[in-house]
C-alpha cells in the first residue's frame, strides 16, 4: 500500500524533492514519485488529485517553483492533507515559490514548508501517518531522542574546547 504521493511540477525539482523521499525511506513509508505540472499538464493534475484518496494515498507532498500553483490546486481537489514545498529557482531565491504556496484562501489548507524544506515535508508526512499508527509514533519518538542526543554530544564536544 502506497501511503504518500510525492509530486512536483518538473523533474528539475527532484534534487530538492528527493529529500522528502529520503525522509520517508528512513521511516519505511511506501511512496510514489510523479511529475505533475499545474500548468503543463493541468488535466493530469486534476486526475491525480481526484483519484489520490480512492487509490489509498493518505498524504500528498507537492513541490513546485516559481508560479507554484501545484500544491494549492491539488489541495482544492483532494480531501487529503497536502504538504507544499516551495522549490527555489534561479531568480527571487524561492520567495516567489513560497508566496505562491503559502497564502491559501480559508477552506483550502496547504501545510507549507520552508523554501527548499523537502526533508521536513517528508517528516511532516511521517507525523501525520504516525498519529494513527502507534508503531510509527514510537519511531518518531526515537528519531526525536536521536536529535536530542546529537545536540547533547555537540554541546559536550564544544564545551571541552
Q: Which is nearer to ligand RP5, 40 or 154 (CB)?
A: 40
Region of 133 please: left (phi>0), alpha (psi -120 to 50) or beta. beta
- How far apart, in whole angstroms, are the C-alpha atoms of residue 143 and residue 137? 10
Least distance CB 66 / ligand RP5 (angstroms): 5
Name the minimum Å distance from CB 154 to ligand RP5.
Answer: 34
Q: Does 65 bind ligand RP5 (CB under 6 A)?
A: yes
Going by their DSSP bridges, the two strands 31-35 and 4-8 should be labelled as: parallel
Q: Determine the residue with CB nearest ligand RP5.
A: 9
Question: Smaller CB distance to ligand RP5: residue 19 or 136?
Answer: 19
Stretch that binds ligand RP5, among 61-69, 77-85, 116-124, 148-156 (CB under 6 A): 61-69
Could you tell me the maximum CA-CA distance found in the chain, to the nearest angstrom?
Answer: 60
How far apart are the C-alpha atoms of 52 and 71, rounded to whole Å?
14
Angle made by CA atoms 136, 140, 146, in degrees to the nearest 5: 140
Pattern 20-59, ligand RP5, x by CB under 6 A: -----------------x-x--------------------
Q: Which three cell numbers stand for residue 51?
A: 483519484
List of residues contacting ligand RP5 (CB under 6 A)? 8-10, 12-13, 37, 39, 64-66, 87, 89
Amino acid at each position: 500500500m502506497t501511503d504518500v504521493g510525492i509530486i512536483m511540477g518538473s523533474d528539475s525539482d527532484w534534487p530538492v524533492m528527493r529529500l522528502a523521499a529520503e525522509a520517508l525511506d528512513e521511516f519505511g513509508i511506501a511512496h510514489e514519485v510523479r511529475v505533475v505540472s499545474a500548468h503543463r499538464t493541468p488535466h493530469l493534475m486534476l486526475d491525480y488529485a481526484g483519484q489520490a484518496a480512492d487509490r489509498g494515498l493518505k498524504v500528498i507532498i507537492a513541490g513546485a517553483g516559481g508560479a507554484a500553483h501545484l500544491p494549492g490546486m491539488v489541495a482544492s481537489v483532494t480531501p487529503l492533507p497536502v504538504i507544499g514545498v516551495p522549490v527555489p529557482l534561479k531568480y527571487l531565491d524561492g520567495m516567489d515559490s513560497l508566496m505562491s504556496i503559502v497564502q491559501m484562501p480559508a477552506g483550502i489548507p496547504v501545510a507549507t514548508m520552508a523554501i527548499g524544506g523537502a526533508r521536513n515535508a517528508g517528516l511532516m508526512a511521517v507525523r501525520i501517518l504516525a498519529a494513527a499508527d502507534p508503531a510509527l509514533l514510537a519511531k518518531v519518538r526515537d528519531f526525536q531522542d536521536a536529535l536530542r542526543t546529537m545536540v547533547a554530544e555537540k554541546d559536550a564536544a564544544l564545551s571541552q574546547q
